[in-house]
Structure 1
Amino acid sequence: MLGEGNVAHTAMSGNGTTAGDDPLQTAVWRLRSRACWADAAALLLPDTPAAALQRASLLVERSLYTEQGWEEAEDALRTAEALAHSDDERGAAACERGYLAYAATVLAVRDRADEARAALGRAAALIPPGAPQRALLDFRRGLLAENLTRSPQAARAAYRRAHAGATAQSDPLLLSFTWRHLAGLALRDGELAEARHGFTESLRIREELGYLVGTAPALVSLADTETEPEASRLREEARRLFRLLGGVPTWLARQLAPPAAGAATA
């Protein structure tokens, strides 16, 4: 499971997803949730550390979902790194650097695994446990453990820390990711009921938030735990959303492809 994207601070209460939020953040969230990352990033002037990092995060997420725009994401991230001065700011930028390197590696654009590990290690040294950014960092360290190091036990521990942090911070979008990835590990271990519960929670949160670009992957994951005809219904709904968003995320196409003629389906 790739890990998709996660600009967690833009999905927390007070940052675009609830009534009464900053109108700018509401506009950014609506565009981002519909796979319009470039349009969302264009609304943000990178003249403060927070705005520059948010803009970079959006473009990094676009690269993960579309497998394009890597140079623009790099440029935006370098701007954010240049503006970062406090430990929190430098740690958040390092976390994003690690995530971009992870995305390039897991999508086979270029092997940047060492860079990803080093950057997330720097972030861990700068962001103390209990800090607001720590939950996202723990989640991303889980992604590396699961998909690059191939260490499911370490991944599960990191996802659980991230899940606890997201719960404490009332960060619903990050919770949708931790539920999803913990469920993926449960499914790998044959714990079907636990996996179904986690995938159901992830889908519920994404639908409640209106996180359209993340809903198709959630539907496909849940389908993997269901029997027919429910599994086919979920996959067909995922295909509809996938087409609606212009074939994004690109890596979902392989999972949505219909079985080849004559292929066994039992």
Structure 2
Amino acid sequence: MSVKLGIIGGGVMAEAILSRLLSQNIYAANTVVVSDPLQQRRDYLQKTYGVEVTENNAVVFAANVILLAIKPQVLDRVAADLSGTANSSNLLLSILAGVPLKRLQAAFPACAVIRAMPNTPATVGAGMTAIAPSSQVSPQQIDRAKTIFAAVGEVVEVSESLMDAVTGLSGSGPAYVALLVEALADGGVAAGLPRAIASQLALQTVLGTAKLLQETELHPAQLKDRVTSPGGTTIAGVAALEAGGFRAAAIAAVKAACDRSRELGN
């Protein structure tokens, strides 16, 4: 078998990426090897996807592309296990939150390294991933990384200096949106709607609005203006949001998450 893709760590995000790479025929199952310390997890991945599995991380470095999907706390131990294994033909894609390129390059000095930040909607193919390549990564390797992460959603390339901001916005953003959906549903219940119907209305409203903005390329302010009419219900609701500091709170949330990401990376 010629190993083309190796994955270190078989968790939820790694599985999401693996499943869509296979379903879209970007990689064949017999060209993928996944390492994970848990026998139960290895058995599941092998049975579900037909890939080779191992508990030996060094086996993964026979691949051209390695997806590093471990917890940041075990990076040093994994790097020590792989000392001398990596070579210049390896493209390492790290999805370790808060771990900067300089640390990754120190851990894997022979590899071309790209730092990536996907978010949880990747598990349903609707993710947003930002990638930041190191200086030794070739244009062809960047294209390969974009192809891999495009399998789980959209991809943008940014400088590493912006990765903390990416983390604060799209990395942590699904939690903010989930809070919004929950709050809208609670508002519906407060106004007299049954919980199930309020939840359905809230979720579809957020989903539909996002799709509308994406497909029409309207600025959000334009869509807001189209929905509001003089003296109407929507402008009354918007005024209440403004009085509650809705926009300021959203901006502050992104900045706080960005600052915390920066702290964790130091």
Judging by fraction of residues, say which structure has more strand.
Answer: 2
Structure of larger gyration radius:
2
TM-score by length of 1: 0.31
**TM-score when normalising by structure 2:** 0.31
More helix as a share of residues? 1
